[in-house]
Amino acid sequence: MSKILIIDDEEIIIDSIKMHLKDMGYEIFSAANGKEGLSLYNKLQPVLIILDLKMPVLDGIGFLEEATFFPDDPCSVIVLTGHGDDEHRERCFELGVSAFLNKPFNAVELKGMVRHSILLKEVEASLQEEITKRMEVEELLLYNNSVLEALNKILIISLETTPLVRQLEKVIDLLAENVGVSDVRCNIYRVDVDKRALLLKAQKALPEEFTLKYKETSLDGCIKCEAVLDREIMYTRCRQPLHKFSDNGARDCKYFCTPIMEDTKFMGILNLYTAEDYEQTPEDMRFISSVSNIIAGMFIRDTTIRK
């Protein structure tokens, strides 16, 4: 149930407002001054505040300055004004007040203003939600266009007549551009599972300790890693016991471990190491998965040409 907070030092005013609004379906709370009101406001997060200006301890202006309201806040503020309060109107508007109600007021005026103020905020919130959704859709479309362009470039690379390792190095550059990895570190292995042999390796910007460690890591360890066994891309940390990366001070970081498959046959693996501030997204997972499928096609094409 939505909440309304009345901040006024006159009990007769509070009781009158509560009586007029009791049938409107809101929970109504009250405070005797701005200090009490500030505490209740932070605790309750009401949809509407009905505020008097002249109060002890902390007056209405002081409350508004402490609470700091903004146009996109979900709470409206109605200020109760009496004779001589006109000089404060401009300052109240500056502090986020949405409406004024002159004292003495009647039930029709009060109910109408309360209903209007809350409805206005609900409409604003609905519009803001719609704007946010549209912006998210536009961003997704821009991202998808960028991804499609990158995949198209990789497909073109896959048809080049240059050596396969050169093609894969170009793929690595495009991967880095589209996954948002500022510090490009990547390797692509092509393996023969039956012979337990490494057929080809393309890599870029790997630290020396990584390169040394890869030489020590058995091919069986790579073939038996979780990503390959599950036949799906993983985003994980590189210090896995199976890969024996906990030794020799090899730097621990997160990376995409992507099996390169022809149907159910394991053909190789793609590892893309991400920057420290990188945040994984489902879109990147799908993009890298698509790239691994293209690389599988490159491996098949290369095998056919060699035959």
Q: What is the pLDDT of residue 105?
A: 85
Residue length, the chain?
307
Is residue 138 in some structural domain? no
Residues 206 and 85 in one domain: no
d(CA 289, CA 233): 7
d(CA 128, CA 35): 31
User: What are φ and ψ of residue 218, in 5° steps?
Assistant: -70, 150
Residues 98 and 198 in one domain: no
Residues 117 and 163 in one domain: no
Residue for token pair 């890869």: 214
Residues 211 and 116 in one domain: no
Q: How far is CA 251 from each of CA 46, 77, 80, 207, 271, rounded to the nearest angstrom? A: 50, 55, 64, 9, 15
CATH at residue 276: 3.30.450.40
CA distance between the termini of the chain = 74
Residue 296 is given by DSSP the state H
Residues 288 and 171 in one domain: yes
Is residue 139 in some structural domain? no
Q: What is the pLDDT of residue 227?
A: 56
Is residue 272 in some structural domain? yes
Residues 99 and 195 in one domain: no
Per-residue pLDDT of the chain (307 residues; tens, 9 = 90+): 789 999 999 999 999 999 999 888 889 999 999 999 999 999 998 999 999 999 999 999 999 999 988 777 888 999 988 755 667 888 888 888 888 988 888 888 899 889 888 888 887 777 777 777 777 667 666 667 777 888 888 888 888 888 998 999 888 888 777 765 545 577 888 888 777 777 888 877 665 555 555 554 555 555 555 555 566 777 766 555 444 443 334 455 677 788 888 888 888 888 887 777 777 788 888 888 888 889 989 888 888 777 6
Contacts of 116 (CB under 8 A, 6+ apart): 99
Residues 12 and 104 in one domain: yes
Is residue 154 in some structural domain? no
Residues 79 and 211 in one domain: no
Residues 197 and 67 in one domain: no
Residue 25 is given by DSSP the state T
Q: Which of 102, 124, 146 is the last residue of a domain?
A: 124
Q: Which of 124, 149, 173 is the last residue of a domain?
A: 124
Q: Give me the domain span that covers residue 217.
A: 159-306
Q: What is the pLDDT of residue 243?
A: 46
CA atoms within 13 A on the CB side of 224: 11
Is residue 129 in some structural domain? no
Residues 115 and 164 in one domain: no
Is residue 40 in some structural domain? yes
Residues 180 and 288 in one domain: yes
Q: What is the pLDDT of residue 249?
A: 41
Q: Is 172 exposed, middle or buried (0-12, 13-18, 19+ CB in 10 A)?
A: buried
Is residue 196 in some structural domain? yes
The count of domains in the chain is 2
Is residue 116 in some structural domain? yes
Residues 277 and 210 in one domain: yes
Q: What is the pLDDT of residue 207?
A: 55
Taking the CB of residue 150, how many other CB atoms lie within 10 A of it?
Answer: 19
